[in-house]
Copies of this chain bind each other. A is one copy, B any other.
Amino acid sequence: MSERLIYLPLGGAGEIGMNCYVYGYGEPDKERLIVVDLGVTFPDMDTTPGVDLIMADMAWLEKRRKRIEGVFITHAHEDHVGAVGHLYERLGVPIYARAFTANIARRKLDEYGIGADAVITAPIWPEKIELGPFSVAFVPVSHSIPESAGLAIDTPAGRVVHTGDFKIDETPVVGDPFDAELWADVARGGVKALVCDSTNVFSRHPGRSENTLGPDIEALMAEKTGMVVATTFASNIARLKTLATAAERAGRSVCLLGRAMRRMTEAAVETGLLSDFPKTIAPEDVGSMPRENVMLLVTGSQGERRAASAQLANGKYLGIELKEGDTFLFSSKTIPGNERGVIRIMNQLSEKGVEVVDDHDGLYHVSGHANRPDLEAMHAMMMPSALIPMHGEHRHLSEHVKLGEARGIPSVLAVNGTMVELTGNRPRVVDYVETGRSYLDGSVQIGALDGVVRDRIRMALNGHVVVTLIIDEDGAPLGEPWCEIMGLPETGESKTPLVDVLEGDLNQFLMRATKRTLSDDTALEKELRNITRRSAQSEIGKKPEVTVVVSRLA
């Protein structure tokens, strides 16, 4: 049977976040595999209450564990590297990444007691990593974190270019400028398929460079007379530098607050990326300085409840308290879904008299992703035989497919689980694989469809009643049944305590119940559950979740 080249997204295609892509080469069902990115996505109360992190389901890969050659991480954003610690043992293959990304990955593995040698620091194009039928090069690209890379994946069937997240930025302040010559070099000899970031396909204006922000940020820092607090993603080292440099020029000392802020700057210093970052001061030194001489650089730009931003908005943090006359700058964009958290912080700051400045007018933030014209530029540079949009919701992938087709490039919409064969003249969907999500919940990994989270949501919506009944040695109820309620009002329609109403109705049923009913656990539990739900519905207008515990005295 002839060999083939396949592409299979397990996460990140049909959503933004949780990136995980598989490439395979070999005879069908015997392909050797490489994995690109092991990212996470974040839970929310609506769909995943109590969950800590969400990752792509590894079932398909684990079954083919012996065929996996390695994992490549394109960059150190959580939605690309966040799951390495949680999933390393399940895949058991080496992880390749550039130095900064490797530094972050090793910190994550360390939390699981996995040694630093699990991650191999990769060289960059034109050097290649040879793994089975694959020859893979990290191609430096600009993005909103240092040392992002696309991958040039060479196979006997030709070259696939996997862009990773990218923008076209020739002056990115920190990290690699976009190098058009280098990418032209990658394109030389032909690109079988371009697998391309889709995040900003709906943004019609050309992307702006990171270095356009400096002057406006500097003007703001200089103009304000109180303390200035700035928040952005800690991983955006270039932004940290822009903010810190602006602060320094405005006569402000910089204080970093938040765990991620320290972790990221440490990693950047360790890997030589931040040699000329302004000196920082410790939180305990802030109090003794005039407010106009301080800038805090803090985590929590997305309104995260435990981050430094939220704590400063809410009260004191490490002895620092904001007050009237201070300014809080969101050098960030609110990710859809995070609006409530961000607005909560803005209002808390407003209550303190702190002026809030956001990116409403486009002065203080630029995106890390290629806008539509930049995607078109990438298409033109690569001139691929096929385009597969990735990293986007369905609507982004769909729009990106239209963009490719408009240029005459055969383009495929492949959401998670869609296996695409790239070997023929045109890309072709050859299989649909069952994919899903797994949740890190406390210390346990559970499946999204296990029902655990569904039960939590039901309890949150409907409350929970526990009915306990003891059946004596003769098969008769011992005393009356009793109810415990949680998450339900104490009284309803009748003003009698709800538990009394429920217990009364249950007892009425039991007094009339036959021996036969009482002897059948399943039937009895079902009946008690139904009575409880009906009784609650008429008393409080709500059908709760019900757990029935029948204990039989032996």
Interface residues of A in 377-420 (CB under 8 A from B): 393-395, 398
Among B50, B463, B537, B547, the residue within 8 A (CB) of A484 is: B547
Contact of A487 among B394, B452, B461, B468 (CB under 8 A): B452
Whether, in the assembled complex, A519 has its beta carbon less than 8 Å from a beta carbon of chain B, the answer is no
Contact bitstring A305-325, B, C-beta under 8 A = 1, else 0? 000000000000000000000
A395 to B352, CA, bound (A): 10
What is the distance, in angstroms, from A391's C-beta to the closest C-beta of chain B?
Answer: 14
Chain B residues within an 8 Å CB radius of A468: 468, 549, 551
B484 touches A466 (CB 8 A): yes
A442: chain B residues at CB < 8 Å are 492, 537, 540-542
| Residues A340 and B336 in contact, CB atoms below 8 Å apart | yes
A547: which B residues are within 8 A, CB to CB? 466, 484, 486
Interface range for A: 35 or more
A482 on interface, CB distance cutoff 8 Å: yes
The residue from B45, B349, B490 contacting A46, defined by CB atoms under 8 A apart: B45
From B351, B540, B541, A394 is in contact (CB under 8 Å) with B351
Which A346-383 residues have C-beta < 8 A from chain B? 346-347, 349-351, 356, 360
Chain A interface, >50% SS class: mixed
Find the B residue at minimum CB distance from A398: B350
Residue on B nearest A553 in the bound complex, by CB? B478
How many Å lie between the Cα of A470 and that of B550 in the bound state?
A: 12
Please indicate the chain B residues that have their CB under 8 angstroms from the CB of A446 in the complex.
Answer: 489
Name the CB-closest residue of B to A356: B395
Q: Residues of B contacting A491 with CB < 8 Å?
A: 444
5 examples of A-B residue contacts, CB within 8 angstroms: A202-B360, A343-B393, A347-B395, A443-B492, A549-B549
Chain A: residues with CB nearer than 8 A to chain B?
14, 44-46, 49-50, 202, 336-337, 339-340, 343, 346-347, 349-351, 356, 360, 393-395, 398, 441-444, 446, 450, 452-453, 455-457, 459-464, 466, 468, 470, 478-479, 482, 484, 486-493, 537, 540-542, 545, 547, 549, 551, 553-554
